[in-house]
Structure 1
Amino acid sequence: MHQGSIENEVDEAVFRKVTGRFATGVAVVTTLAGGVDHAMTVNSFASVSLDPLLVLVCVEKIARFHDAVLDAGVWGVSILGRDGEEASRAFAKRGRTLEGQLDLWSHRRGRLGLALFDAAIATLECRTTAVHDGGDHSVIIGGVVSADTPRDLPPLIYYEGRYRHLRALDD
């Protein structure tokens, strides 16, 4: 298979509409670089492998979080429940002040010293095992070091450019 450049034959607006039809969960990814907490909202997170346990996250190369997470080599994932929209919006804002950005959000330090949100419905901590070029993003693969499901709520969903909520299974 030839891996050359890909010509854009699809209009970007159409592409965004098509990919927006894929419902995703929402997570806040954290890292600790130079003693400073960094955090970013993502919906490009996925499991990759069960043997070994691997997950991936895609990070835009121009994001401040990009260099921090690559330098740190470790990252945490807090998967948000239906009550996590405010946190998601907060950590999606570009250019926010780093100092004290986690002060409003109850969190604990995981095994690797990373911030994991108390309000998360699931958490992971990972060590970076590979980084792949993904156009304007880097695809960061991480080996899972810890995993937990601290709360039992339906997930926060992002679909067609809007936050959505699933009803609890017993609703």
Structure 2
Amino acid sequence: MKESIFHRLYDLYHQDVFQFLIYMVKNRSVAEDLSHEVYVKVLKSYERFQGRSSEKTWLFAIAKNVAIDYFRKNAVRSSHAFDAFNWETDNLVSPMKSPEILTELNDEMRELLEALEKCTGDQKMVIIMRYFQELSIAETAAILNWTEGKVKTTQHRAINKLREILTDTTEAKEANRG
């Protein structure tokens, strides 16, 4: 019984979860490892799933937590200190400086992903969920355990920040050419 539920969830959402994680960490093998971790947690905790949200939002909430844990562990490892990692305000900078996923993308998408690195964790998560995963505001709010208003505000701020970053990048490129 539990196995058939697991297979159904895996078949329905594996690609979305994997894609979400790869946009977050920008490394295929790390995203694969984190994806496996998500499904291990799903298998262990499905009986506690109460159906207050859809299975999809529940699954993405688990994936979000796995990604946050990954960034926290990396922040601790890279600083060799146990400074608190503030998910809401700290930037989620992938340890991979030129990840292989970027070579598969067009220039605009590459620039957008690089600009996302300069956003806060909350902003990055909202942009990936809303625009890359095409989740609704309600789904995003459920996954993040936020109000819809907070999702809208964070999305608005993220879009403004991305616009500012991308405008500065474009102006810098034009100045270098001229």
- TM-score band by shorter chain is under 0.3
Question: As a proportion of its length, which structure holds more helix?
Answer: 2
Q: Give TM-score scaled by structure 2 length.
A: 0.25
Structure with greater contact order relative to length (CA < 8 Å, sep ≥ 6): 1
Q: Give TM-score scaled by structure 1 length.
A: 0.26
Please say which structure displays the higher CA radius of gyration. Answer: 2
